[in-house]
Structure formats: C-alpha cells, structure tokens
Amino acid sequence: MSAASSPLHPMPSAPAQPDAAQLHNIWLAGLGAMARAQAEGSKAFDALVKQGLEWQSQAREQIAEAAQRAGALAASAHPAGGGRWNALEGIFEQRVARALANLGLPSAQELAQLRARVQALENNLPAPARRTAAKKPAAKTQRAKSARK
C-alpha cells in the first residue's frame, strides 16, 4: 500500500468549505475565548492591584526604616562634627589674635581693660572737668603725627 492510496491520509483536490454550523461554532468559540480572557484579565488585574498595594506598604516601611537610620546616624555624627568645628574656630581665632598682636593692635580684653580705666579716671574727675573731657577729642599720638609727614 502506498502513501498516495492510503485511506488514512486522503488527499483532497480542493479545500472543503465549512458549512453554516461550523462557522457558527467558530464564532461562538471566539466569543467564549474573548469572555474568558476578559474574566481572567479582570482577575489578573485585581491580583496585580493587590500585589501593588502590598509592595507599596513594604516600600513605605523600608523608607521609614531608612529615614530612621539616617536620622540616628545624623544625630550621632552631629556632636562629633560640632566639636571639630569648635576646634577649627578656636584655631582660627588664635591665629587672628596672634596676627593682630604682631601688628601692634590691642586685644579685646586689653580694650575692655582700657575702657574700664578711662571710665574710672573720668569718675574721679570733678564735674566741670568731666564735661570738657567728654567734649575734647582724643589727643593724637606721636606715631599718627609722624605717619602724616
């Protein structure tokens, strides 16, 4: 028996035309597939929404934990950083004071002592002399006179 004459594999000469019942069944199968896709699609959509809500709550928890750790880290670093700034500020103030002293300028403490001495001397003056002492400008020093020449 050859393959061409085998009854199991008939070789049609022209494709068979489906009848109306077959076309109607194909149409119904397509509608059924569409309905199933819509039903399962809405279930899948609902499942995705549920999963998204779970992930969102997990992400919020992780963000809150990370913010808490960052806040604790910043709080622990602040005192150490503040100490460094205070030390740096102290070094800067010492260097500025040393430079001003090298220029012959009095320090803030020396100026305060001088003001206190002047105030004590003014308090010891008689009343008429106090008024004239307050009106007279300070005497120019020899250094200021020689600088103008």
pLDDT tens digits for range 104-136: 888 888 889 999 999 998 888 887 766 666 666
Task: Report pTM.
Answer: 0.31
Phi (first) and psi of residue 98, to 5 degrees: -65, -40
Residue in the structure block whose two tokens are 């070789």: 11
- Rounded Cα distance between 91 and 68, Å, is 35
pLDDT tens digits for range 4-39: 544 555 555 555 677 888 988 998 998 888 888 888
| Burial class for 85, CB neighbours closer than 10 Å (0-12, 13-18, 19+) | exposed
Q: What average pLDDT is seen over the chain?
A: 77
**Cβ distance 133 to 125 under 8 Å?**
yes
Between 43 and 15, residue with greater pLDDT: 43
Between 74 and 24, residue with greater pLDDT: 24
Q: How many residues are there in the chain?
A: 149
